[in-house]
């Protein structure tokens, strides 16, 4: 059951509270985000790496992922796959009661000019920034170069 | 069927997490990721009419001339068209093949030719290609050369690629990779099996011993 092990997920306190509706004063029309299933396949060189994860939104309002930063690379950009090529995008929607999925062959993060060698077993800290919600920090584990989330190995 | 049961269990687990979570976040895989994988389908597509080998004469990672037809004649061969500035599909495809290849007996590993042809020759010089492939499998052959030669060769295999270009909106460089790996038989030299980009290590591990012998996977 290794695949169900927690995927090093961190969420800001503010968001966690909002998720519980603790204050309750601002109504229901807000996104409630949680990140799961994050991983980076072990990169081939220090030039480039990919990153994958899922942002689930249990809230009644949509949000937008607007940027991603990381201590592990000079640049992190978001890409969508269009046919056989990938296109950088400025933002991606996280629909209300839906999710934004980054997975191999689809949306992916592109890390460029890695600051250190990232081997399987390492962890990369990534911060996701949203249009409405506060930033979410994700501890993204580095998996094998051939890691397949469907089989967990 | 085991896998399916397991996937269903994972799906249930994810669903119940969704119900019970109160801002604490899910820790399981997303349901979408689980159900989108159909493990029962075969990765290999057998071609009724095999492809002839493309007439590709290019430059290898040593900077030497490499004639694809001549070098791979009578050898089990896999070919893929991609580029090294590719974070997702290209390294995954090549790594999947590399890991599967390592599970073959040594003699069979030596027979198998794996050829990576760059679709981005301007950036993928022999040196760059060599550096990248060394991180995957140093025995893999990396080829670069004129884009029109690569494009024409790919086209004979039903693979359509475009030159690297700047995206009009973002000004970023966009390269294009092929979507398929093609396996050539050592017996007929025909390209008789196709793999899509969702072929896994397990698929290649299962099929390579047959491809080495020119049998149908």
Measured distance between the N- and C-terminal CA atoms of chain A, rounded to whole angstroms: 11
> Looking at residue A17, what is its pLDDT?
39
Residue B33 banded pLDDT, cuts 50, 70, 90: very low
Tell me the pLDDT of chain B averaged across its residues.
84
Q: pLDDT tens, A5-18? A: 444 343 333 343 34
Taking each helix axis from N to C end, the angle separating B89-102 and B201-212, rounded to the nearest 10 degrees, works out to 60
Nearest chain A alpha carbon to B93: A146
- As for the ipTM of the complex, it is 0.76
Q: Quick: pLDDT tens for B74-126.
A: 999 999 999 999 889 999 999 999 999 999 999 999 999 999 999 999 999 99
Distance, CA of A1 to CA of A31 (rounded, Å): 30
pLDDT-derived band at B132 (thresholds 50, 70, 90) equals very high
Verdict on whether the full-model pTM lies above 0.90: no
Instruction: Name the pLDDT band for B171 (thresholds 50, 70, 90).
Output: confident
pLDDT at residue B42 in the model: 80
Give the pLDDT of residue B41.
66
- Statement: residue B202 has pLDDT above 50: yes
Closest A-chain CA to B89: A105
The pLDDT of residue B28 is 39
Nearest to A4 among B21, B28, B179 (CB): B28
A18 near B CB under 8 A: yes
Interface test with A, best of B2, B4, B19, B23 (most A CBs within 10 A): B23
Q: Parallel, antiparallel, or unpaired: how do β-strands A136-143 and A33-41 relate? A: parallel
Q: Residue B46: which of B191, B147, B193, B174 has the closest Cα?
A: B193
Chain CA centroid to CA A127, Å:
8
Residues lower than pLDDT 50 in chain A: 1-26
Residues B78 and B116: their CA atoms lie apart, in Å, by 8
Quote the CA–CA distance of A70 and B126 in Å, as a whole number.
31
The answer to whether B114 touches B101, Cβ cutoff 8 Å, is: yes
Question: In this complex, do A58 and B18 lie within 8 Å of one another by their Cβ atoms?
Answer: yes
What mean pLDDT is predicted for residues B181-193? 97
Residue-level pLDDT at B189: 97
Q: Could you tell me if A76 lies within 8 Å of chain B, comparing CB atoms?
A: no
Comparing CB atoms, the residue among B21, B33, B174 nearest residue A85 is B174
pLDDT at B173: 80
pLDDT at A28: 66
Residue B215 has what pLDDT?
A: 97
Q: Residue B19 has what pLDDT?
A: 35
Looking at the predicted structure, is the pLDDT value of residue B169 above 80?
Answer: no
């Amino acid at each position: 059951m290794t695949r169900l092990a927690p995927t090093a997920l961190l969420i800001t306190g503010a968001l966690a509270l909002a998720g519980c509706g603790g204050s309750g004063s601002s109504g229901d029309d807000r996104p409630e985000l949680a990140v799961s299933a994050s991983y980076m396949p072990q990169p081939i060189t220090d030039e480039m790496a990919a990153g994958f994860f899922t942002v689930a939104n249990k809230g009644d309002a949509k949000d937008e992922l607007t940027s991603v930063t990381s201590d592990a690379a000079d640049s992190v950009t978001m890409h969508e796959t269009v046919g056989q090529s990938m296109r950088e995008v400025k933002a991606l929607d996280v629909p209300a009661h839906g999710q934004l999925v980054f997975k191999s062959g689809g949306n992916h993060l592109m890390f460029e000019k890695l600051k250190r060698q990232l081997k399987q077993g390492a962890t990369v800290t990534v911060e996701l920034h949203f249009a409405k919600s506060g930033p979410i920090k994700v501890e993204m584990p580095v998996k094998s170069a051939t890691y397949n989330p469907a089989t967990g190995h | 069927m085991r896998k399916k049961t397991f996937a269903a269990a994972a799906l249930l687990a994810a669903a119940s997490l969704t119900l019970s979570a109160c801002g604490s976040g899910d820790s399981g895989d997303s349901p979408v990721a689980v159900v989108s994988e159909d493990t029962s389908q075969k990765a290999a597509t057998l071609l009724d009419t095999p492809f002839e080998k493309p007439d590709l004469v290019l430059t290898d990672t040593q900077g030497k001339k490499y004639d694809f037809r001549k070098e791979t004649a009578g050898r089990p061969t896999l070919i893929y068209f991609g580029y090294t500035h590719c974070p997702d599909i290209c390294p995954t495809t090549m790594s999947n093949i590399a890991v599967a290849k390592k599970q073959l007996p040594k003699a069979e590993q030596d027979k198998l030719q794996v050829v990576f042809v760059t679709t981005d020759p301007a950036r993928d010089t022999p040196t760059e290609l060599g550096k990248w492939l060394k991180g995957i499998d140093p025995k893999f052959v990396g080829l670069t050369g004129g884009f029109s030669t690569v494009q024409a060769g790919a086209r004979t295999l039903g693979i359509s690629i475009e030159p690297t270009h700047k995206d009009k909106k973002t000004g970023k460089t966009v390269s294009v990779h092929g979507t398929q790996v093609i396996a050539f038989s050592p017996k007929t030299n025909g390209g008789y099996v196709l793999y899509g980009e969702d072929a896994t290590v397990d698929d290649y591990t299962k099929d390579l011993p047959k491809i080495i012998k020119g049998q149908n996977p």
